[in-house]
Amino acid sequence: MIGPIFIFLGICLVIISTIGTIRFPDFYTRLHAVGIIDSSGAMLLLIGFALQSEFSINTVKIMLLILIVWIANSTNSYILACTYYKSKGKIIKEG
């Protein structure tokens, strides 16, 4: 019964963060919105999927996927922010 609630909340977060990604003005605020999609939205969706299925090998796979997404999201956001900050004055315009 609680699985669909997590899935619904995850879908709501993904939709709101996607709208934020489109509407926010600069790179850092867009990166924040994408980080919310990855960390909160995907986590709620995956937790909801794990709660809906009975305990099996699929539940273990979903839990491992949650761990991988949790680690990879923070690392990717950090690398993107640092790279953008360091190359901000060195952007080459092709044309």
* pLDDT at residue number 64: 93
> Would you give the distance in Å from CA 10 to the centre of its chain?
10
Residues in the chain with pLDDT values less than 50:
95
* pLDDT at residue number 45: 92
Q: How far apart (Å, rounded) are the C-alpha atoms in residues 74 and 78?
A: 6
Contact between 50 and 62 under an 8 Å Cβ cutoff? The reply is yes
